[in-house]
Amino acid sequence: MISLYVPGGDLKAQLINAKIRTPGVSGREPTYTTAYIELIFTFYRLFGWGMRQITGYMEDYWETRGLDIPVPSASQLGERFASLEVSVTQRCEQLARRLARGEKISLIVDSTGLSFGRASQWYEEKYGQRAARTPWRKMHLSIDADMNVHAIHTTTTEVSDSEGMDAVLPADVPMDRVIADGAYYSIERTEALSGAGVTPVILPPAHAVRHGEERTRRHDQIVRYIEDKGIYAFHKKYGYVCARWSRRRSRASSAASASAC
């Protein structure tokens, strides 16, 4: 399912030039805006289809949504694609090479809220009454330091960050550490990650205490270290808020918000 967020309101007006000629000015403007061509180019690179395949896909995309928006021909797309000033980084290929060399990946996990404003309109049409509130969903996301998205999982808002974390930790990617904020902390997850050879860089709550049990060994080590050295020593040792990782964690939030749009 692909949703488009168009802040300007009139989708067709942003994709199709209503006036391709300007009085008193020689030449004509392209019928299809650059934003439209970039949108199709994004799908074209995402799916890896041929030019005619992406043309057919876009025609079906608008038709199934009841929108009368024309689609450029394959030859038009070829000409416009060649003129786009868009830089595409093949992160997936780079990641595949890293994994083939046996390298481990550090993953950053975060989440963001998704508001579906049009859902209330659908509810009104279906049930004949207005929805009590705009429905929200939560999107959980995991990326690496090079902005490769490894997993996206959408849940209801009742699912906590900690509960949603399991769905975005890929089982087929070797990890050396998992970085997340305190909302993702739990003793069980800390022990499970440590037992699997993964360093959990997740800050425990301020009221965390040691339990002195075998099943809380890693948790007790973290709490003891913070008690002895202080929270900033923990930050420094595990790189939780150093300049480098702080930027990377902020990227996860930015990536989550961008994916939501």
DSSP 213-234: -GGGHHHHHHHHHHHHH-HHHH
Name the β-bridge partners of 114.
137
Is residue 246 pLDDT above 50, yes or no?
A: no
Give the pLDDT of residue 13. 83
Give the pLDDT of residue 24. 62
What distance in Å separates the CA atoms of residue 76 and residue 62, rounded to the nearest whole number? 18
Contact, 251 vs 106, CB < 8 A? no
How is the chain split into domains, by residue range?
11-83, 101-260
Give the pLDDT of residue 213. 92
Give the pLDDT of residue 9. 67
pLDDT digits (tens, 9 = 90+) for 69-115: 899 998 888 888 888 877 654 456 778 788 888 889 888 898 888 77
What distance in Å separates the CA atoms of residue 242 and residue 69, rounded to the nearest whole number? 48
Give the pLDDT of residue 231. 84
In this predicted structure, which of 94-108, 196-210, 228-242 has the lowest mean pLDDT?
Answer: 228-242
Quick one: pLDDT band at residue 240, thresholds 50, 70, 90? low
Give the pLDDT of residue 224. 92
What residue spans of the chain are helical by DSSP H? 11-15, 34-47, 51-64, 74-83, 91-100, 119-127, 161-165, 187-195, 217-229, 231-238, 243-260
Contact, 161 vs 91, CB < 8 A? no
Give the pLDDT of residue 28. 61
Amino acid, single-letter form, for residue 211: H
Is residue 216 pLDDT above 90, yes or no?
A: yes
Contact, 134 vs 119, CB < 8 A? yes
Torsional sign, CA 218, 222, 228, 233: positive
* CATH ID of 101-260, from 3.30.70, 1.25.40, 1.10.287, 3.30.420: 3.30.420
Give the pLDDT of residue 87. 62
Give the pLDDT of residue 67. 85
34/123: higher pLDDT: 34
| Residue 36 Cα distances to 4, 45, 54, angstroms | 12, 14, 13
**Residue 150: helix, strand or coil by DSSP?**
strand
**Residue 137: helix, strand or coil by DSSP?**
strand
pLDDT digits (tens, 9 = 90+) for 129-187: 776 666 678 888 898 877 788 888 888 888 888 888 888 988 878 899 898 888 889 89
Contact, 127 vs 112, CB < 8 A? no
Quick one: pLDDT band at residue 244, thresholds 50, 70, 90? very low
Radius of gyration of the chain from its Cα atoms, rounded to whole angstroms: 24
What distance in Å separates the CA atoms of residue 190 and residue 205, rounded to the nearest whole number? 13
What distance in Å separates the CA atoms of residue 37 and residue 51, rounded to the nearest whole number? 12
Amino acid, single-letter form, for residue 56: G
Quick one: pLDDT band at residue 245, thresholds 50, 70, 90? very low
What distance in Å separates the CA atoms of residue 250 and residue 152, rounded to the nearest whole number? 17
Question: Token digits for 81?
Answer: 């694609």
Backbone angles phi, psi at 70, to 5 degrees: -70, 160
Query: Once rounded to an integer, what is the mean pLDDT over residues 45-59?
Result: 87
Is residue 221 pLDDT above 80, yes or no?
A: yes
Give the pLDDT of residue 261. 47
**Residue 41: helix, strand or coil by DSSP?**
helix
Does the predicted model carry a pTM greater than 0.75? no
